Chain A
């Protein structure tokens, strides 16, 4: 790894992500799958239920979220209040989802 570019492997609890401008995103949910269109890239993607839930958490209105707050918001509101930690497996899954959304240009690491 060179330079200051981070990957999902080195995402820490203080790292935050933000969604691209909301007006660029159209999405639909059918069953347990999502499709999302990003106008900025003129691309449409199929997302799993988990990735779609994370995307919706971003779209809910928060400008910038850490991996813990995203997890709590997307999957477990109660956990957010108790501030209980994600399991290692859950954190890895969240990191993979965020990396995928980042790769698709839907979210970016927040500089704030």
Chain B
């Protein structure tokens, strides 16, 4: 069963009661919430994701609720809890769904050390992964959203999950988080993209999520092998430029953007080295998504030999 098969009433009943067991890639999260914004966000953004049976195993047990106390009536807030414990400071009351998304990212990056996890978007063509590694604010999610609606399969907008033993990159297709100007940029670029409401004055500015393409969710069990590692950078007004990047520097960039490289020890070093070995590495600056899509299309065509 997928979320779209669950009636809105039953979805709310599960969220308010025993919890909704939502599968995202290799993980199952039991989510509880009484907030309409969370129920609506899950209905919209996770429509194609599987709902697991009650009573099954869940990797994470989380909730997004209003904190108790008088303040909930005067100045409503929302609070993310992991295993029943508050994890972050509460946020303004209209940020329930963004807080769920940030909380889920935190769960994976903090606990899932069976993977080497890099702060990167990942897309796929012909079985090969395009890893867009960069810190926040570099235009990574904008580029990711653009490519996800131009022939690339979305593996993840935020977290590259590298299986240490095999070197494969595991899909974790979830909503793409866009900020500020990038919301309108992607809206104009991809008319088929489904957006949730824009939430203003978050810690990242104005935020909106884009529903992952259905095909990406349905193919979430298909991993990808390394293909390209690209360090994107949005440069206002600049022409799109893709330039080869020395592999050792690309390696160091992945180290800098990894969440748990230090936890993985020697295995992490060799897993990243294998990713770099199998990838063509580039730096990429851009200002227009159309130019970027064209460049990445030709990049894919140049490497179109069967695996």
Task: Report the minimum CB–CB distance from A34 to chain B (whole Å).
Answer: 6
Task: Report the minimum CB–CB distance from B250 to chain A (whole Å).
Answer: 9
Interface residues of A (CB under 8 A from B): 26, 28-35, 37, 39, 42, 44, 46
Q: Are B269 and A31 within 8 A (Cβ)?
A: no
Q: Are B270 and A30 within 8 A (Cβ)?
A: no
Q: Which B-chain residue is minimally distant from A33 (CB atoms)?
A: B248
Q: Which A-chain residue is minimally distant from B276 (CB atoms)?
A: A30
Q: Are A30 and B266 within 8 A (Cβ)?
A: no
DSSP class of A's interface residues: helix, strand, loop or mixed?
Answer: strand
Q: Which A-chain residue is minimally distant from B274 (CB atoms)?
A: A28
Q: Are A30 and B251 within 8 A (Cβ)?
A: yes
Return the contact of B246 from the options A26, A28, A31 (Cβ within 8 A): A31
Q: Are B252 and A30 within 8 A (Cβ)?
A: no
Task: Report the minimum CB–CB distance from B56 to chain A (whole Å).
Answer: 37
Q: Which residues of B contact A37 (CB under 8 A)?
A: 266, 269
Given known A-B contacts A28-B273, A39-B266, A44 and B255 have beta carbons under 8 A apart? yes
| Most chain B CB inside 10 Å of its own CB: which residue of A26, A42, A44 | A44
Q: How big is the B interface, by class?
A: 10 to 19
Q: Which A-chain residue is minimally distant from B265 (CB atoms)?
A: A39
In angstroms, Cα B276 to Cα A35, docked, is 12
Given known A-B contacts A28-B273, A44-B255, A35 and B266 have beta carbons under 8 A apart? no
In angstroms, Cα B276 to Cα A46, docked, is 14
Return the contact of B252 from the options A31, A39, A44 (Cβ within 8 A): A44
Q: Are A26 and B269 within 8 A (Cβ)?
A: yes
Task: Report the minimum CB–CB distance from B283 to chain A (whole Å).
Answer: 15
Asked if B68 is at the interface (CB within 8 A of a chain A CB), the reply is: no
In angstroms, Cα B266 to Cα A30, docked, is 18
In angstroms, Cα B249 to Cα A30, docked, is 9
Task: Report the minimum CB–CB distance from B265 to chain A (whole Å).
Answer: 7
Given known A-B contacts A33-B246, A39-B265, A42-B262, A26 and B252 have beta carbons under 8 A apart? no
In angstroms, Cα B247 to Cα A35, docked, is 10
